[in-house]
Amino acid sequence: MATKRKPILLTLIRCGETTWDSEGRLHGRSDLPLSIDGRSSVTADVAALSSRRIAMVCHPSDDAATETAQIVAGAVAGKAKVVADLADPALGVLEGMSTQEFADRFPKRYKQWQDDPLSLTAPEGEELVEARARVFGVIGRLARRSRADEIAIVLHPVALGLLRCWLADRPASDLWSMVRTRPRIERYLLAAELIAALEEAATTEAQAS
């Protein structure tokens, strides 16, 4: 008889800021380093984790996420691991654009971005529904396959907000409030049933898109 998997502790870490973040520019999948302030903030944030031991810190492949994960891994005596599918959605021509320019040039899409982000497909970009399925699927697999009791994952704001909404049973329209009002580091206890539900949600969305 198979042994039921014990719950796993998921530590979610928001990627440190880049200069584009501080300037209010859309990031998407653009590859940027941490800013000086972003690096300082991450270092301060992870001080609370220094007493923990987390074997693996998974992160997207861009420079800012990589450096964030390396800082975290150094604090928890773990290893940073690139998982490319954890990346935020590609935003096409919107990447690097300020939010004001976005609102001026694409008012209808900007309203979607603010009020109903899952309905948005950026010009030459990725559907947010597809991006959510991609991120949920890889996180579900990482949690299910982990032999450790805890894993840490670094995410950029869009992926982080969408996952927080799902875990809190909130609509995706709450994405921005879930990013702005919650701590940069949070822990969630994932039972096996919740991990299975996360993977199922990813599969359902991928088939529907």
Instruction: Give the domain CATH number at 57.
Output: 3.40.50.1240
Q: Which residues of 117-141 are buried (b: 16+ CB within 10 A; e: fewer)?
A: bbebbbeebbbbbbbbbbbbbbbbb
Q: Residue 3: inside a domain, yes or no?
A: no
In which residue are the tokens 């206890």 written?
A: 189
Domains in the chain, number: 1
- Residue 72 in any domain: the answer is yes
1 lies in a domain?
A: no
DSSP state of 48: G
What's the domain range around 200? Answer: 8-208
Q: pLDDT tens digit string along 142-173?
A: 999 999 999 999 999 999 999 999 999 999 99
Which one-letter DSSP state was computed for residue 83? -
- How far is it, in rounded angstroms, from Cα 146 to Cα 138? 12
pTM (global) more than 0.85: yes
Phi, psi of 188, deg, nearest 5: -130, 135
63-88 tens-digit pLDDT: 999 999 999 999 999 999 999 999 99
